[in-house]
Amino acid sequence: MLQVNALNQFYGGSHILRNVSFDVAAGKLTTLLGRNGVGKSTLLKCLMGVVPTRSGSIQWEGQALEKKAPYERVSAGLAYVPQGREIFPRLTVEENLLIGAASRARPSGVPDRIYQLFPVLRTMRLRRGGDLSGGQQQQLAIGRALMSEPAC
């Protein structure tokens, strides 16, 4: 499903990702571990197209992603929950969730499954995202990613 081959990324003169290669098969769970500063977030940002790669390849279900924009990667079935949550603080919970469905044709509201996973979001659906606690914002960020109906 996901194949990364010889991926390299630099920040300035610092070589952050060095020939990173791995495969994630359909239906399998893969965990990315490492101490601070070793490139975990950079790798995820490269996979999503938020940060361009210097060299190497990323394939999702046999489709090359290196030249695709982040929204095209989301439409293909990838989703990303930023470490810093990056919700829209002035929008309501419901509006934040609906933004996650922007890649889908005509979202008809927030599916009940999102509110079943995160019941607090239903009770706070009209509250601004910036007024939520950190944990509630994290639930909102995960819910927003799930709204795009990722492949895995």
pLDDT at 152: 65
| Number of domain units in the chain | 2
Clarify whether residues 60 and 11 are in a common domain.
Answer: yes
CB 54 within 8 A of CB 61: no
68 and 105 in a common domain: no
Same domain for 21 and 68, yes or no, is: yes
20 and 48 inside one domain: yes
pTM given for the model: 0.87
Q: Give the CATH number, domain containing residue 43.
A: 3.40.50.300
| Band of residue 83 on the pLDDT scale cut at 50, 70, 90 | confident
* Start-to-end Cα distance in the chain: 10
Domain that includes residue 129, residue range: 93-146
pLDDT digits (tens, 9 = 90+) for 10-54: 988 899 999 999 999 988 888 999 999 899 999 999 999 999 999
Q: Do 62 and 99 have their domain in common? A: no
